[in-house]
Amino acid sequence: MRTLVTERNFFILLSGVFINGVGGGVYAVSGMLLVLHLSGSVLYSGFAFFGVTLASAMAFLIAPFANYVTYKKGLIVCEILKSALLFSIPLFYLTVGLNVYYVLVLLFAVALLAQFTYPIESTIMPIIVGRDNIVKANSYLHTIREGLDIAFVAGAGILVAVIGPVQAIFITAICHLLSSLSYTFYNFQQPTISKKKESISDLLAVYKIDLKAGIDYMRNSLIPKMIVSIAFINLAMGIMIPNLPAFALIKGGGNEAVYGFYLAAMSFGILIGALVTSKVKEVRFGRLIIISFSITGMLWMGSSLLPVVPSIVFFCLGSISIGIINILIFSAIQQQVETSFVGRVVTVLTSAASIGAPFGALAGGIIGSTLTPVVPVFLCGLAMIIFSVTWLCSTILRKLPKIEEAKLFPDKRIEEAL
């Protein structure tokens, strides 16, 4: 790892991760709080989260356009665009004033740009560190990212409480600008972009064929059942997350810093889940999911009813199962899917599973504004218990062996999917 850190391009990547960790933590807190302040209603927080999660669900449509630019240029331009968009918020705030609808559109646009950069960042990793070091490098970066999320999100809550959400977003804009400057120092081999570019329609036609092959490949596997399960979890999370800013204000007696503490608690719980995955992977997968998510449901229901300190602790502990299921499912896919199909299967899985979150966001906004933000948090916990019961009632899912022995895909040749 010491050798990797001293390598120029990997160090630049780490610098970008650190800078974006600062800006991302501030943005995660200030963006949703700004919408809540401008609108005075969690309904608009639901609209905001709807836009952000809709962008994630559209990832499979945006990723192909990364083929039209070199990796370095794509990263630099996207970071500059994010910075420019975010700079407009304090600019309008000081001049003509801010409109909540403008902020909603801007949050959606920034999320779309992020979907463009994710595949580039994933692609350049093996180029920078070499395929032999990719596992170590990814593990190292994952730990750093989660650690930064915990530290910076918690700190961002305090920062936003002191200087306000608009001023905090100005800091995020600066971070994206600094990140773009750091990427200019990359010197790894860039892909050659053909001067005779394919038309967008041709590119999308090829991508459609690849996407269909990925869908056909996993049609008779257990993945469709898992997509439904993960979509249901995302639906429940979508109901809860837009209400967290208002929920935190209620629990914290109006202290905006408490929202950052709740987000940090979730990140910390997910990190714990990722760290303990190697210990619990020997447990039968079906049993692990049923037990862990029923516990999550009870903890989050308790979090909605308890005072702020035990509420945050319960919220953190309930997030552990999210980290576990993320690592186990994607590890199983990487192990069992032919290399040429991994990208397509993951794209279909993540995009399809993300569909639940936007609709959950809309429902959460309506429920929170009609009743109280406490209710969606309680309902999310209840949904986790319902999720556990559905797995318990499904013979196939309930009896799944430990993840390394679980046969997610039937034996078949690649030609059958093509």
DSSP assignments along 70-110, one per residue: -HHHHHHHHHHHHHHHHHHHHHHHHTT---HHHHHHHHHHH
Report all structural domains of the chain as residue ranges with CATH numbers, in order of start. 1-189 (1.20.1250.20), 201-418 (1.20.1250.20)
Whether the full predicted model's pTM is greater than 0.85, yes or no, is no
Give CA–CA dist 364/380, Å, rounded: 10
Tokens of 320: 């552990």
Give CA–CA dist 262/311, Å, rounded: 9
What are the residue ranges in the chain where pLDDT is below 70?
A: 1-6, 60, 63-68, 119, 122-123, 131-140, 142-143, 146, 191-200, 203-204, 207, 210-211, 214, 330-331, 334-335, 337-344, 346-347, 409-418
pLDDT in tens, 223-262: 787 788 888 999 999 999 999 999 999 999 999 899 999 9
Tally helices (H) and strands (E) across the chain: 20, 0
Buried/exposed code over 293-313 (b: 16+ C-beta within 10 A; e: otherwise): bbbbbbbbbbbbeeebeebbb
pLDDT for the residue 417: 41
Tokens of 31: 């963006």
| Type of residue numbered 83 | S
Give CA–CA dist 319/263, Å, rounded: 10
pLDDT for the residue 59: 72
Q: Please report how the helices 42-57 and 339-354 are oriented relative to each other, as an axis angle in degrees rounded to 10.
A: 160
Give CA–CA dist 199/42, Å, rounded: 43
* Cα dihedral 275→280→286→290 (10° resolution): -70
Give CA–CA dist 35/104, Å, rounded: 8
pLDDT for the residue 207: 67
pLDDT for the residue 219: 76
Residue 163 φ/ψ, nearest 5 degrees: -105, -15
pLDDT for the residue 66: 65
